[in-house]
Structure 1
Amino acid sequence: MDSLCRGAGNNTFRCNMRELLQTHKPRIIVLLETKVMLSSMGNFFSNMGFSTATIVDPIGRSGGIWLIWDTDQANVRASAVTNQYLQATVHKEDYEKWVFNAVYASPNPSLRETLWEKLEDTARNLNKPWLIAGDFNDYANQSERRSFSHTPNQNRTLRFMERINNCNLIDLGSVGPHLTWTNNRQGLANSMERLDRAMSNDQ
């Protein structure tokens, strides 16, 4: 997905996205690190049946979160929007309401702390099913990191796991490459990490 979103709005992105939508037929789309404004997409998503969106536009070429949905298939009501996450309540007829957070955590540790403070507040006050997914810019243990050039930071992984446990979140696992980010360097300079994940509460 990282390569898909790098330069959202170009022809390759549009082709890949169209194929994904036709194959998987999602009702809700979330895109992270879009690097461009949604307005640059013109009518692309509305022509594919996704007429409504809540967005965090990027600052310059950095960041960006798009939450886009088909109003005929789901009712999505955004309740919080920041540079690091979107929070919304999702409802579909005959199904229980649930809460969704799309996360794009800052690489700045102090800003990530602010993010987790908000998520812990949500966890304490929530009585609905909760799904939280995205790029957390953190990894949970050393098996989620491969690097020859940096010393492991055990305090960082312990703090991340503490935050996850404080929110009573369960890692839902994934399909595909285990390590979701790379610095794209060669040889011993290469680093790979699992920064992306989906988690939920026990509801």
Structure 2
Amino acid sequence: MDQVELLGFSQNHIDVKVTMGEDDPWRLTGLYGEPNRALRWRTWDLLRNLARDSNLPWCIIGDVNNVVDASDKNGGSQYPSSLIEGFNEALLDGWTLLIGWKYDWTEL
């Protein structure tokens, strides 16, 4: 039997456990990162806390409103290195792997 169990949510995320038939359960988190750069640390802390909550295979979808590398940004002013560093630290803390902008909806 297929099931989706709500694990948690906030204004910026929804976190569920997905079980499909006899397959092992996995976790899906829909995330919209804090749009205010001065408060971006909230998203990083959320990612860290969510990573600690479960050992299930985990897929995060959405828009984190951050870049991993300055080369990920096209046009406009330079992206602040402090935001790149803070985001990368949060990803490393949670052992998160990003597939990157090359695979987002703009390229489909």
TM-score between the two structures when normalised by the length of structure 2: 0.83
Deviations 1:97-152 (A, max 9, x none): 111110011212354322322221221232111111110011111221112x4133
Distance 1:153 1:111, change over 3 A: closer
Q: Letter of the 2:42 partner, please give it.
A: T
Q: Which amino acid aligns with 2:40?
A: R
Q: Which runs of 5+ in 2 are unaligned?
A: none
Larger helix share, 1 or 2: 2
Q: For the pair shown, which has the larger CA radius of gyration, 1 or 2?
A: 1
Contact 2:6 2:15 in 1 (8 A): yes
Question: Is the contact between residue 7 and residue 17 of structure 2 (CA under 8 Å) also seen in structure 1?
Answer: yes
Aligned residue for 1:146? 74
Gaps of 5+ in 1: 1-71, 179-203
Question: Which residue of structure 2 lines up, in the alignment, with residue 160 of structure 1?
Answer: 87
Q: Work out the number of aligned pairs and report it.
A: 105
Choose from 98, 101, 105 the match for 1:171.
Answer: 98
Correspondent of 1:104 among 20, 28, 32 = 32
RMSD: 2.0
Matched residue, 1:76: 4
What is the identity percentage for the equivalent residue pairs of Structure 1 and Structure 2? 22
Matched position secondary structure for 1:79: strand
Q: What TM-score do the two structures reach when normalised by structure 1?
A: 0.47
Amino acid at match of 2:85: L
Pair 1:133-2:25 in alignment:
no
